[in-house]
Amino acid sequence: MGSKQKLSEMIKSEAKKLGFDACGIAKAEYLKEEARHFKRWLNSKMHGDMKYMENYFHKRVDPTNLVKGAKSVIVVLLNYYTDKEQKDKNAPKISKYAYGKDYHLVIKGRLYQLLKFINNNINNINGRVFVDSAPVLERIWAVKAGLGWIGKNSNLISPVHGSYVFIGVLIIDSELHYDIQTNESCEACDKCITACPTGAIISSKVIDARKCISYLTIEHRGLIPEKYHEKFNSRIFGCDICQDICPWNTKSKKHKITEFEPDPELLKMGKNDWYNLKEEHFNRIFKGSAIERIGYSGLKRNIDFIRK
């Protein structure tokens, strides 16, 4: 079986072979301080319509409630940055992360392969895969696994890859060698706070989701508050403003994941193509993408909002 350090190195090596850009490992333990901050945020109602975030609190802050006997949290990062842009500069804008296939499926597939590798080559263990669709505080675990720190915009910032990264988590019931948390931060920079057009970043690492363009275009149900009409900057799905302005992203490198490549037809869509989008066109272009999640009616609501 080998030493814990050797086992950890084998896992990280396999993660790289599977295409992940980084892999770190943290000890599975109760998140005492984070639980306090998360509870305060929920009590302030800043999560808006995301009522699901109130559920399974005990699981969010303690991985042993997700995997019996959990000992280790393996965290992987997958870069999704692209220099490709929509051709029409005046067209409605979508976030870079939604250009290609749904990241949930892309990352889960690779994580299941990593879990299989651990079982076949290291030890027969119990584990579960998580990708942004379960009660897991992924960014916190990425920090504890030594992969970066939380920026003032609440995104994970990797000193190597910036913030254009997806996070995947694999919790297992076996002890490994744990990485050291970084001491880096961005305390001297406020660019993301001043750049946010709706003032959603109310203080360092505290986001009022009810004001966030990403939340309003994806999670929010019902009409978008009229007061934000002039502040959307033509965005209809997600928002990259606080990431585009971040100095840590100035050297971002293009991803190498085929599934994240945008449909050429998507990039060619002009302003009028978006305004006159039909449901059958939506179903063809966005099949299997993150945008499919809000459906045609949701995207149409966002388009109609910015064109008033």
CA dihedral (55, 217, 167, 119) positive or negative: positive
Overall average pLDDT of the 201-216 stretch: 97
| 3-class state of residue 25 by DSSP | strand
In a domain, 209, yes or no: no
Question: What is the pLDDT, as a whole number, of residue 251?
Answer: 87
| 3-class state of residue 88 by DSSP | coil
**Residue 1: pLDDT above 60?**
no
Q: CA 235 → CA 42, 122, 240, 258, 305, distances in Å?
A: 27, 46, 9, 25, 10
In a domain, 132, yes or no: yes
In a domain, 260, yes or no: no
In a domain, 208, yes or no: no
**Residue 304: pLDDT above 60?**
yes
- The neighbour count for residue 30, using CB atoms within 10 Å, is 13
**Residue 2: pLDDT above 90?**
no
Cα 130 to Cα 110: distance, rounded to the nearest angstrom? 11
Q: Which domain holds residue 144?
A: 4-88+95-172
Question: What is the pLDDT, as a whole number, of residue 184?
Answer: 87
Question: What is the pLDDT, as a whole number, of residue 224?
Answer: 97
Q: What is the pLDDT of residues 248-294, one digit of tens each?
A: 999 899 999 999 999 899 999 999 999 999 999 999 999 999 999 99
Q: What is the pLDDT of residues 83-133, one digit of tens each?
A: 999 999 999 999 999 999 999 999 999 999 999 999 988 778 999 999 998
In a domain, 122, yes or no: yes
In a domain, 104, yes or no: yes
Mean pLDDT of the chain: 95
How many structural domains does the chain have? 1
Q: In the numeric block, which tokens belong to residue 218?
A: 């994806």
Question: What is the pLDDT, as a whole number, of residue 124?
Answer: 80
**Residue 3: pLDDT above 80?**
yes
> Is 304 noted as a catalytic residue in this protein?
no
Overall average pLDDT of the 18-22 stretch: 98
Overall average pLDDT of the 217-221 stretch: 95
CB distance 169 to 101 below 8 Å: no
Share of the chain above pLDDT 70, in %: 99
In a domain, 303, yes or no: no
In a domain, 276, yes or no: no
CB distance 121 to 265 below 8 Å: no
Q: pLDDT confidence of 25, banded at 50, 70, 90?
A: very high
Of 49, 62, 132, 263, the active-site residue reads 132
**Residue 28: pLDDT above 90?**
yes
Question: What is the pLDDT, as a whole number, of residue 308?
Answer: 76
- What is the b/e burial string over 102-139, where b = at least 16 CB atoms within 10 angstroms of the residue's CB? bbeebbbebbebbbebbeeebeeeebbbbbeeebbbbb
> Residue 203 is inside which H or E element, if any?
strand 201-203
**Residue 164: pLDDT above 70?**
yes
Return the closest-CA partner of residue 252 out of 244, 242, 240.
244
**Where is pLDDT greater, at 36 or 184?**
36
**Residue 183: pLDDT above 80?**
yes
Cα 104 to Cα 132: distance, rounded to the nearest angstrom? 7
Q: Is 40 exposed, middle or buried (0-12, 13-18, 19+ CB in 10 A)?
A: exposed
